[in-house]
A and B are shown apart, each in its own frame.
Chain A
């Protein structure tokens, strides 16, 4: 199995956010890199995804489906900027 990128999260994150999140920027809590979410490294980890920084590889966030509910854990993102 190989990784994808943050483009694939546009649909799932539209369940929670009104704006497109692939163009949102986030700062990695570990290395400080600021990039758009589209550039993040995304691993399919059914029933969800593990999203890692494309510079240092640390976990930015995880998304997990629990039945009909999507739980997003933003543990590795210190600043999320939309628009």
Chain B
């Protein structure tokens, strides 16, 4: 049962990128969550004005420690506060876990292709963590599009998670690491086709990121022969 606002206390904050950070909230009464779900965060100004925004959860499982990762939208009402001002010990109102569609559960044994743009990586990280924590042997691949190496959320953790059942392919749109063999540029249909699990293996596909990114990727996937019903999408706007 959701619909009820819970009051949590910020446990830790960690810088992830020049404009983004992860936030762990201690949330008594939190029932745990499935990988891919989100929360609504509510801020209340001294004059009573309230703003509510949705953020994906980077953690998964039964813990009452809930991890969010937030990218700052400079003109936003909520994200600048979460990224620049929020400190450990501060209180935060959250509602969730929310959404039962854009989720991956360990009992799903088939191959999984994750495709993230920018901070759209967050719910996909939860899936990678859930995959590892459950000992799942389902083949997982991640295609991650970011502006530059420094803009990648969870870079070290993703590198440490590489193994027989999981690998990450990066696409850099503005700047690449030194010695990278490909010039920076936006993801194209050809690069997508070459990077993802073939349609013949019938992967479950999760795409998350800015709306324009998600729409382009979903359209290309259908053109490449992936059935629309195997593609789940979540849009951040932008």
- A interface residues with partner B (beta carbon < 8 Å): 1-5, 7-8, 10-11, 14-15, 18, 20, 22-23, 36, 38-39, 44
Contact = CB atoms under 8 A, between A and B. Distances in A.
A8 B232 CA distance: 14
Given A4-B236, A7-B99, 20 more contacts: A4-B237, A7-B101, A7-B235, A10-B2, A10-B100, A11-B40, A11-B52, A11-B96, A11-B98, A14-B3, A14-B95, A14-B98, A15-B3, A20-B98, A22-B100, A36-B101, A38-B99, A38-B101, A38-B234, A39-B233
A10 B212 contact: no
Contacts of A36: 101
Nearest to B94: A11
A39 B99 CA distance: 12
Contact of B101 (A14, A15, A22, A44): A22
A10 B54 CA distance: 9
Interface string B89-123: 00000011011111000000000000000000000
B38 interface: yes
A5 B212 contact: no
Contacts of B101: 7, 20, 22-23, 36, 38
A10 B100 CA distance: 9
Interface in B182-238: 211-212, 232-238
Interface string B69-103: 00000000000000000000000000110111110
A6 to B, nearest CB: 8
A1 B211 CA distance: 10
Contact of A7 (B39, B95, B102, B238): B102
A7 B2 contact: no
The 9 closest A-B pairs by CB, nearest first: A10-B98, A11-B40, A38-B101, A20-B100, A14-B3, A10-B99, A14-B2, A22-B101, A2-B211
B45 interface: no
A7 B232 CA distance: 11
A19 to B, nearest CB: 8
Contacts of B39: 11
Most chain B CB within 10 A, of A8, A10, A14, A22, is at A10
A2 B95 CA distance: 25
B79 to A, nearest CB: 15
B1 interface: yes
Contact of A5 (B1, B2, B96, B235): B235
Nearest to B41: A11
A7 B211 contact: no
B212 A2 contact: yes
Contacts of B212: 2
